[in-house]
């Protein structure tokens, strides 16, 4: 019973990042998640609680197979999400945005450049914080045993 309550508290801390930003829970920012892998870039805009509002990826903007991982695919996915944010800003009640980066693919740089460009100007003004949540392996997993010949 105690174990479950501790687990629940940890999950709430992971979901609720307002304590990190030093904000009251009522004025938490919306989040823009950018997951950039070797094969694709996924840009998702979520409510402060974590429910997704709009999401785009290299595939949903029209790129197929290996092209999804490219710079242009990440740029277009970011621009399309920015357009959604600007169009529905009042409806969703967007005041501030926290940007969460994950991964080291080509799309990471593309989304950053899109945010700097004229297409991302309206969104850039709302950005409150940028956080890199890429997991970094220290030590890693145990390697396979050596081959004996």
Q: What is the enclosing helix (H) or strand (E) of 128? A: strand 127-132
Looking at the predicted structure, is the pLDDT value of residue 145 above 80?
Answer: yes
Structure confidence by residue, pLDDT tens digits, 85-138: 999 999 999 999 999 999 999 999 999 999 999 999 999 999 999 999 999 889
Q: What does the pLDDT read at residue 43?
A: 97
Cβ(60)–Cβ(49) below 8 Å = no
Cα 33 versus chain centre, distance: 1
Cα–Cα distance measured from residue 99 to residue 121, given in angstroms and rounded to the nearest whole number: 14
Cα–Cα distance measured from residue 131 to residue 45, given in angstroms and rounded to the nearest whole number: 15
Structure confidence by residue, pLDDT tens digits, 17-63: 444 555 555 578 999 999 999 999 999 999 999 999 999 999 999 99
pTM of the shown model: 0.77
């Amino acid at each position: 019973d105690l174990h479950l309550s501790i687990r629940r508290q940890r999950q709430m801390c992971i979901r609720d990042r307002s304590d990190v930003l030093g904000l009251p829970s009522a004025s938490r920012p919306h989040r823009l998640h950018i997951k950039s892998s070797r094969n694709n870039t996924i840009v998702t805009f979520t409510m402060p609680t974590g429910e997704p509002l709009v999401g785009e990826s290299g595939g949903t903007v029209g790129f197929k197979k290996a092209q999804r991982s490219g710079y242009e695919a990440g740029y277009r996915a970011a621009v399309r999400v920015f357009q959604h944010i600007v169009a529905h800003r009042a409806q969703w009640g967007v005041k501030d945005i926290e940007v969460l980066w994950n991964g080291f693919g080509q799309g990471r740089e593309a989304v950053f450049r899109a945010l700097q460009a004229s297409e991302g100007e309206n969104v850039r003004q709302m950005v409150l914080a940028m956080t890199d949540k890429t997991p970094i392996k220290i030590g890693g997993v145990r390697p396979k045993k050596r081959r004996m010949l």
